[in-house]
Amino acid sequence: MEHGYERPHQQPSASDRRPLGIALVITTTFLIAEVIGGVLTGSLALLADAGHMATDVAALALALFAGWLARRPATPERSFGYHRAEVLAALLNAASLVAISIYIFWEASKRIGDPPAVDSAPMLIVAFAGLAANAVSAWILSRGGGHQHDLNTRGAFLHVVGDMLGSVGAIVAALVMLATGWYLADPLLSAGIGLLILWGSWRLLRESVDVLLEATPVHLDPAEVRRAMIGVDGVAGVHDLHVWTVTSGFVAMSSHVEVTNRRAWQTVLSDLSELLRERFGIAHVTLQPEEASGATDPFPGCSLDSPEGRHACLVPARRPAMAIPHAHEGHHH
């Protein structure tokens, strides 16, 4: 089994973590302000926004820690390093967003039947301050486009965007209550905020789970990859093809390649590696050459392409050998 030419995975520098640190400081500062404002005014919308901002603090801190951990070097025991730490952080952030949404729905349902009076003027002031803080944090996190292609940064970004929605909802609720005295606006808008947060977190949750399950990235079609590889001169067939994401921006692939004797394997390997890198963006490639047999039966060895192949992959775990006492070791009386 041989590796194709690969481009090293681009690791973000320490300066790329600076937006997360700045956003963490801003969010922590205004979390304190919103908790105080929510308690003093009795506003559920403001307290819901403060609760979500509290998870933002945890989410941003988790993203910073995961980013640091992902940069630790690989070891023989962890050959891919700690890249998946960022994916785990994204998964935890997505799960916390879902939990927050459920909590907001529960609180709103209790208040809809008998909405309490809310001190709307202070609520409006604090909500505007929270919106400004969240807008600045979101702008900082969106610089450079990291929230679009990095699951870890996107998880933190979605938390901040959810806070922005919470602040907007609190502002609208405060204006409605100031103008009409209709206090039902507070729990209704809170429930609407919960729906928006739930909608935004679902994609992040799904993508994080897909990475952990080593699913094929959504932008790649395995059938298309297979056809392109078979189109390379000297390749007669491709089987046991696997394409997965190690972490955001780091796609890996392995496959068995049936080759003819028309060209040297190193030449075929070079062409395949260039094709996969340039056309599909797959740089970490492991290919195993095999002599083309022309048989139509499935590959008889370990393979995930068929039930028989999957069964062949199951190897009983070896137990450690038990120590045998030496002949001179005996019982002492």
Mean pLDDT, rounded, for 132-156: 75
The strand pair at 250-259 and 284-291 is best described as parallel
- Helical spans, DSSP H, in the chain: 18-41, 44-70, 84-112, 120-142, 146-149, 151-180, 185-212, 222-230, 265-280, 307-312
Split at pLDDT 50, 70, 90, the class of 97 is confident
Q: Tell me which range, 28-37, 82-91, 142-151, 155-164, is most confidently predicted by mean pLDDT.
A: 82-91
Q: Give the class (CATH, top level) of 7-212.
A: mainly alpha
- Looking up tokens 């590889």 gives 229
pLDDT of the residue at 277: 94
Q: Which of 13-22, 34-43, 153-162, 193-202 has the lowest mean pLDDT?
A: 13-22
pLDDT of the residue at 287: 94
Split at pLDDT 50, 70, 90, the class of 281 is very high
Condensed to tens digits (0 to 9), the pLDDT of residues 33-53 reads: 777 777 777 766 667 666 667
Concatenated DSSP letters for 277-301?
A: HHHH---EEEEEEEE-----SPPSS
CA distances, 192 to each of 178, 199, 262, 273, 299 (Å)? 20, 11, 65, 49, 54
Instruction: Domain 222-312: give its CATH superfamily.
Output: Cation efflux protein, cytoplasmic domain (3.30.70.1350)
pLDDT of the residue at 295: 54
Split at pLDDT 50, 70, 90, the class of 274 is very high
Q: Tell me which range, 59-63, 194-198, 258-262, is most confidently predicted by mean pLDDT.
A: 258-262
pLDDT of the residue at 327: 47
The strand pair at 250-259 and 235-247 is best described as antiparallel
pTM greater than the 0.85 cutoff: no
The mean predicted confidence, pLDDT, of the chain is 78
For the CA atoms of 303, 304, 305, 311, the dihedral, rounded to the nearest 10 degrees, stands at 70
- Burial label for 95, CB within 10 Å (0-12, 13-18, 19+), is middle
CB atoms within 10 A of CB 112: 14
* Domain residue limits, the chain: 7-212, 222-312
Q: Tell me which range, 28-37, 258-267, 294-303, 307-316, is most confidently predicted by mean pLDDT.
A: 258-267
Mean pLDDT, rounded, for 191-204: 81
Handedness of CA 10, 15, 16, 17 (dihedral sign): positive
Q: Examine domains 7-212 and 222-312 and report if their fold is the same.
A: no
